[in-house]
Structure 1
Amino acid sequence: MKPPPRTEILLFRWHKLLGLARQSRPSWHRDRIREELRERKAATTFCSKLSEASDVLFSLSRARYEGNPVRRLPPFVATRNGGAYLYMVAKYTSRWTFYRTAAWLCNCPNYYSVREVVNPAKDEKLDEVASRHDLPTNFREVAGKLKAVWPLLP
Protein backbone atom coordinates (compact mmCIF):
# COMPACT_ATOMS: atom_id res chain seq x y z
CA MET A 1 0.00 0.00 0.00
CA LYS A 2 1.30 3.41 -1.00
CA PRO A 3 1.87 5.85 1.90
CA PRO A 4 -0.25 9.01 2.01
CA PRO A 5 1.24 12.12 0.41
CA ARG A 6 2.99 14.63 2.65
CA THR A 7 0.19 17.15 2.13
CA GLU A 8 -2.35 14.71 3.51
CA ILE A 9 -0.18 13.90 6.53
CA LEU A 10 0.13 17.61 7.36
CA LEU A 11 -3.59 18.18 6.88
CA PHE A 12 -4.42 15.22 9.12
CA ARG A 13 -2.29 16.77 11.88
CA TRP A 14 -4.08 20.07 11.35
CA HIS A 15 -7.51 18.42 11.55
CA LYS A 16 -6.41 16.69 14.74
CA LEU A 17 -5.48 20.10 16.19
CA LEU A 18 -8.87 21.56 15.20
CA GLY A 19 -10.57 18.59 16.87
CA LEU A 20 -13.95 19.16 15.22
CA ALA A 21 -16.85 16.91 16.13
CA ARG A 22 -16.84 13.90 13.81
CA GLN A 23 -19.62 13.43 11.30
CA SER A 24 -20.32 9.73 11.24
CA ARG A 25 -22.52 9.55 8.15
CA PRO A 26 -20.58 9.37 4.87
CA SER A 27 -23.55 11.07 3.19
CA TRP A 28 -22.90 14.19 5.32
CA HIS A 29 -19.48 14.54 3.72
CA ARG A 30 -20.75 13.81 0.20
CA ASP A 31 -23.49 16.42 0.61
CA ARG A 32 -21.00 19.05 1.83
CA ILE A 33 -18.61 18.35 -1.04
CA ARG A 34 -21.41 18.56 -3.63
CA GLU A 35 -22.62 21.83 -2.11
CA GLU A 36 -19.10 23.31 -2.06
CA LEU A 37 -18.46 22.23 -5.65
CA ARG A 38 -21.69 23.97 -6.76
CA GLU A 39 -20.66 27.13 -4.93
CA ARG A 40 -17.17 26.95 -6.46
CA LYS A 41 -18.67 26.67 -9.94
CA ALA A 42 -20.94 29.67 -9.32
CA ALA A 43 -18.12 31.87 -7.99
CA THR A 44 -17.21 34.73 -10.31
CA THR A 45 -14.48 36.83 -8.71
CA PHE A 46 -10.93 35.72 -7.96
CA CYS A 47 -11.47 36.04 -4.20
CA SER A 48 -14.74 34.13 -4.22
CA LYS A 49 -13.20 31.37 -6.38
CA LEU A 50 -10.26 31.10 -3.99
CA SER A 51 -12.55 30.99 -0.97
CA GLU A 52 -14.83 28.36 -2.52
CA ALA A 53 -11.84 26.27 -3.66
CA SER A 54 -10.57 26.33 -0.08
CA ASP A 55 -14.00 25.16 1.12
CA VAL A 56 -13.88 22.24 -1.33
CA LEU A 57 -10.40 21.29 -0.11
CA PHE A 58 -11.55 21.55 3.50
CA SER A 59 -14.53 19.29 2.87
CA LEU A 60 -12.39 16.73 1.05
CA SER A 61 -9.63 16.72 3.67
CA ARG A 62 -12.09 16.53 6.54
CA ALA A 63 -13.89 13.59 4.93
CA ARG A 64 -10.59 11.76 4.46
CA TYR A 65 -9.51 12.58 8.01
CA GLU A 66 -12.77 11.21 9.39
CA GLY A 67 -12.41 7.98 7.42
CA ASN A 68 -14.90 8.81 4.67
CA PRO A 69 -12.66 9.19 1.62
CA VAL A 70 -15.26 10.23 -0.94
CA ARG A 71 -12.65 11.71 -3.30
CA ARG A 72 -8.91 12.17 -3.45
CA LEU A 73 -7.30 15.41 -2.45
CA PRO A 74 -5.57 17.13 -5.33
CA PRO A 75 -1.80 17.17 -4.83
CA PHE A 76 -0.34 20.41 -3.53
CA VAL A 77 1.11 22.31 -6.48
CA ALA A 78 2.19 25.82 -5.49
CA THR A 79 1.46 27.33 -8.89
CA ARG A 80 -1.94 25.66 -9.31
CA ASN A 81 -3.67 25.25 -5.95
CA GLY A 82 -1.14 26.39 -3.36
CA GLY A 83 -3.11 29.57 -2.73
CA ALA A 84 -6.30 27.61 -2.02
CA TYR A 85 -4.51 25.30 0.43
CA LEU A 86 -2.92 28.24 2.27
CA TYR A 87 -6.18 30.18 2.27
CA MET A 88 -8.01 27.14 3.68
CA VAL A 89 -5.62 26.74 6.60
CA ALA A 90 -5.66 30.47 7.38
CA LYS A 91 -9.45 30.77 7.06
CA TYR A 92 -10.45 27.79 9.18
CA THR A 93 -7.72 28.25 11.79
CA SER A 94 -8.81 31.88 12.18
CA ARG A 95 -12.43 30.86 12.70
CA TRP A 96 -11.44 28.12 15.17
CA THR A 97 -9.36 30.61 17.17
CA PHE A 98 -12.12 33.22 16.94
CA TYR A 99 -14.67 30.97 18.65
CA ARG A 100 -12.27 29.92 21.40
CA THR A 101 -11.30 33.54 22.02
CA ALA A 102 -14.93 34.67 22.15
CA ALA A 103 -15.72 31.89 24.64
CA TRP A 104 -12.69 32.89 26.71
CA LEU A 105 -13.80 36.54 26.70
CA CYS A 106 -17.19 35.36 28.03
CA ASN A 107 -15.34 33.78 30.97
CA CYS A 108 -16.43 30.33 29.87
CA PRO A 109 -14.50 27.91 32.09
CA ASN A 110 -14.27 25.34 29.28
CA TYR A 111 -13.42 27.74 26.44
CA TYR A 112 -10.80 25.29 25.16
CA SER A 113 -13.54 22.76 24.38
CA VAL A 114 -15.13 25.14 21.84
CA ARG A 115 -14.04 23.76 18.49
CA GLU A 116 -15.98 25.34 15.65
CA VAL A 117 -15.22 26.60 12.14
CA VAL A 118 -18.63 27.75 10.87
CA ASN A 119 -18.67 31.25 9.43
CA PRO A 120 -19.43 33.66 12.30
CA ALA A 121 -20.67 36.38 9.93
CA LYS A 122 -24.32 35.48 10.66
CA ASP A 123 -25.76 35.87 14.13
CA GLU A 124 -27.74 32.63 13.71
CA LYS A 125 -24.44 30.72 13.46
CA LEU A 126 -23.21 32.37 16.65
CA ASP A 127 -26.44 31.31 18.38
CA GLU A 128 -26.02 27.72 17.14
CA VAL A 129 -22.46 27.57 18.46
CA ALA A 130 -23.54 29.07 21.80
CA SER A 131 -26.31 26.50 22.06
CA ARG A 132 -24.06 23.56 21.16
CA HIS A 133 -21.51 24.52 23.80
CA ASP A 134 -23.86 25.93 26.45
CA LEU A 135 -22.10 29.30 26.30
CA PRO A 136 -23.21 32.33 28.34
CA THR A 137 -26.04 34.52 27.06
CA ASN A 138 -23.62 37.34 26.25
CA PHE A 139 -21.69 35.18 23.75
CA ARG A 140 -23.40 36.73 20.70
CA GLU A 141 -22.67 40.26 21.93
CA VAL A 142 -19.03 39.48 22.74
CA ALA A 143 -18.53 37.68 19.42
CA GLY A 144 -20.13 40.62 17.59
CA LYS A 145 -17.63 43.02 19.13
CA LEU A 146 -14.77 40.62 18.42
CA LYS A 147 -15.80 40.37 14.74
CA ALA A 148 -15.11 44.10 14.39
CA VAL A 149 -11.40 43.56 15.05
CA TRP A 150 -10.82 39.91 14.10
CA PRO A 151 -9.22 39.17 10.71
CA LEU A 152 -11.90 36.79 9.42
CA LEU A 153 -11.57 35.60 5.86
CA PRO A 154 -14.74 35.16 3.78
Structure 2
Amino acid sequence: MSIASSERMLLRVERGKGGRYRNAMLSEDLLALLREWWKVGRQQGVMHRDGWLFPGQHAMKPISTRQLYRIVVEAAQAADITKRVGPHTLRHSFATHLLEDGVDIRIIQVLLGHAKLNSTALYAKVATRTVRTVTSPLDKLGLFRPTEISSDG
Protein backbone atom coordinates (compact mmCIF):
# COMPACT_ATOMS: atom_id res chain seq x y z
CA MET A 1 0.00 0.00 0.00
CA SER A 2 1.41 3.37 -0.90
CA ILE A 3 0.89 6.76 0.70
CA ALA A 4 -1.06 7.86 -2.35
CA SER A 5 -3.50 5.00 -1.88
CA SER A 6 -3.95 5.74 1.83
CA GLU A 7 -4.73 9.36 0.95
CA ARG A 8 -7.38 8.09 -1.48
CA MET A 9 -8.43 5.44 1.08
CA LEU A 10 -7.82 2.60 -1.34
CA LEU A 11 -5.95 -0.65 -0.88
CA ARG A 12 -4.42 -2.11 -4.02
CA VAL A 13 -4.78 -5.88 -4.28
CA GLU A 14 -2.17 -7.33 -6.62
CA ARG A 15 -2.54 -10.60 -8.49
CA GLY A 16 -6.15 -11.17 -7.55
CA LYS A 17 -8.62 -13.46 -9.28
CA GLY A 18 -7.65 -13.83 -12.92
CA GLY A 19 -4.23 -12.29 -12.22
CA ARG A 20 -5.76 -8.82 -12.08
CA TYR A 21 -5.15 -6.04 -9.64
CA ARG A 22 -8.06 -4.37 -7.91
CA ASN A 23 -8.56 -1.46 -5.60
CA ALA A 24 -10.52 -2.09 -2.42
CA MET A 25 -12.12 0.43 -0.10
CA LEU A 26 -9.95 1.18 2.90
CA SER A 27 -11.71 2.07 6.13
CA GLU A 28 -10.11 4.35 8.71
CA ASP A 29 -10.06 1.51 11.25
CA LEU A 30 -8.41 -0.89 8.81
CA LEU A 31 -5.84 1.74 7.82
CA ALA A 32 -4.86 2.19 11.49
CA LEU A 33 -4.62 -1.59 11.94
CA LEU A 34 -2.51 -2.02 8.77
CA ARG A 35 -0.16 0.79 9.80
CA GLU A 36 0.40 -0.97 13.13
CA TRP A 37 0.88 -4.28 11.27
CA TRP A 38 3.53 -2.62 9.06
CA LYS A 39 5.27 -0.97 12.01
CA VAL A 40 5.51 -4.21 14.02
CA GLY A 41 6.55 -6.19 10.95
CA ARG A 42 9.35 -3.73 10.23
CA GLN A 43 10.49 -3.79 13.87
CA GLN A 44 10.61 -7.59 13.78
CA GLY A 45 12.49 -7.53 10.49
CA VAL A 46 9.77 -9.50 8.74
CA MET A 47 8.88 -6.76 6.28
CA HIS A 48 11.20 -5.05 3.86
CA ARG A 49 10.81 -1.31 3.22
CA ASP A 50 10.07 -1.92 -0.46
CA GLY A 51 8.31 -5.23 0.15
CA TRP A 52 4.75 -6.42 0.36
CA LEU A 53 2.23 -5.54 3.06
CA PHE A 54 1.54 -9.28 3.32
CA PRO A 55 4.83 -10.95 2.48
CA GLY A 56 5.18 -14.62 1.73
CA GLN A 57 7.98 -16.87 2.86
CA HIS A 58 10.44 -14.34 1.45
CA ALA A 59 10.05 -10.65 2.37
CA MET A 60 10.16 -9.56 -1.27
CA LYS A 61 7.49 -12.03 -2.44
CA PRO A 62 3.76 -11.71 -1.76
CA ILE A 63 1.73 -14.15 0.26
CA SER A 64 0.77 -17.16 -1.86
CA THR A 65 -2.77 -17.99 -2.89
CA ARG A 66 -2.57 -21.17 -0.81
CA GLN A 67 -1.45 -19.25 2.31
CA LEU A 68 -4.23 -16.68 1.86
CA TYR A 69 -6.83 -19.40 1.41
CA ARG A 70 -5.63 -21.14 4.58
CA ILE A 71 -5.82 -17.87 6.57
CA VAL A 72 -9.41 -17.22 5.44
CA VAL A 73 -10.46 -20.77 6.33
CA GLU A 74 -8.85 -20.51 9.78
CA ALA A 75 -10.53 -17.14 10.41
CA ALA A 76 -13.92 -18.63 9.46
CA GLN A 77 -13.35 -21.56 11.82
CA ALA A 78 -12.41 -19.16 14.63
CA ALA A 79 -15.67 -17.27 13.96
CA ASP A 80 -17.67 -20.54 14.04
CA ILE A 81 -18.61 -20.20 10.37
CA THR A 82 -19.36 -23.67 9.11
CA LYS A 83 -19.93 -22.85 5.44
CA ARG A 84 -17.19 -23.44 2.91
CA VAL A 85 -15.24 -20.21 2.46
CA GLY A 86 -12.33 -18.80 0.50
CA PRO A 87 -10.84 -15.38 -0.20
CA HIS A 88 -13.55 -14.59 -2.75
CA THR A 89 -16.14 -15.08 0.01
CA LEU A 90 -14.91 -11.82 1.57
CA ARG A 91 -15.54 -9.91 -1.66
CA HIS A 92 -18.94 -11.55 -2.07
CA SER A 93 -19.92 -10.74 1.52
CA PHE A 94 -18.76 -7.14 1.13
CA ALA A 95 -20.96 -6.64 -1.94
CA THR A 96 -23.93 -8.36 -0.34
CA HIS A 97 -23.71 -6.23 2.82
CA LEU A 98 -23.54 -3.06 0.73
CA LEU A 99 -26.64 -4.13 -1.21
CA GLU A 100 -28.50 -4.95 1.99
CA ASP A 101 -27.53 -1.54 3.39
CA GLY A 102 -29.19 0.10 0.40
CA VAL A 103 -26.10 1.11 -1.59
CA ASP A 104 -26.93 1.55 -5.27
CA ILE A 105 -25.81 -1.42 -7.38
CA ARG A 106 -23.98 0.91 -9.79
CA ILE A 107 -21.80 2.20 -6.96
CA ILE A 108 -21.09 -1.39 -5.93
CA GLN A 109 -20.19 -2.12 -9.57
CA VAL A 110 -17.53 0.61 -9.45
CA LEU A 111 -16.23 -0.52 -6.05
CA LEU A 112 -15.86 -4.10 -7.28
CA GLY A 113 -14.26 -3.00 -10.54
CA HIS A 114 -16.80 -4.75 -12.73
CA ALA A 115 -16.99 -3.58 -16.34
CA LYS A 116 -20.49 -5.00 -16.77
CA LEU A 117 -23.45 -4.51 -14.47
CA ASN A 118 -24.41 -8.16 -15.09
CA SER A 119 -21.36 -9.26 -13.08
CA THR A 120 -22.46 -7.15 -10.12
CA ALA A 121 -26.09 -8.24 -10.47
CA LEU A 122 -25.06 -11.77 -9.47
CA TYR A 123 -24.59 -10.45 -5.92
CA ALA A 124 -28.17 -9.15 -5.89
CA LYS A 125 -29.51 -12.71 -6.02
CA VAL A 126 -28.30 -13.38 -2.49
CA ALA A 127 -29.40 -10.06 -1.01
CA THR A 128 -32.78 -11.44 0.03
CA ARG A 129 -33.20 -9.01 2.91
CA THR A 130 -33.13 -6.19 0.35
CA VAL A 131 -35.80 -7.84 -1.76
CA ARG A 132 -38.09 -8.27 1.24
CA THR A 133 -37.89 -4.57 2.14
CA VAL A 134 -38.99 -3.34 -1.29
CA THR A 135 -42.53 -2.00 -1.39
CA SER A 136 -44.49 -2.92 -4.48
CA PRO A 137 -45.66 0.08 -6.53
CA LEU A 138 -49.12 -1.53 -6.41
CA ASP A 139 -49.10 -1.40 -2.61
CA LYS A 140 -48.12 2.27 -2.74
CA LEU A 141 -51.33 3.07 -4.62
CA GLY A 142 -53.38 1.98 -1.63
CA LEU A 143 -56.17 0.55 -3.79
CA PHE A 144 -56.73 -2.50 -1.67
CA ARG A 145 -57.52 -1.74 1.93
CA PRO A 146 -58.64 -4.50 4.27
CA THR A 147 -62.31 -4.10 4.99
CA GLU A 148 -63.45 -4.06 8.57
CA ILE A 149 -65.71 -6.90 9.54
CA SER A 150 -68.66 -5.61 11.42
CA SER A 151 -69.71 -7.33 14.60
CA ASP A 152 -73.39 -6.80 13.71
CA GLY A 153 -73.30 -9.82 11.47
Report the structure number with the largest CA radius of gyration.
Answer: 2
TM-score category (smaller protein):
under 0.3
Q: TM-score, normalised by structure 1?
A: 0.28
Name the structure with the higher strand share: 2
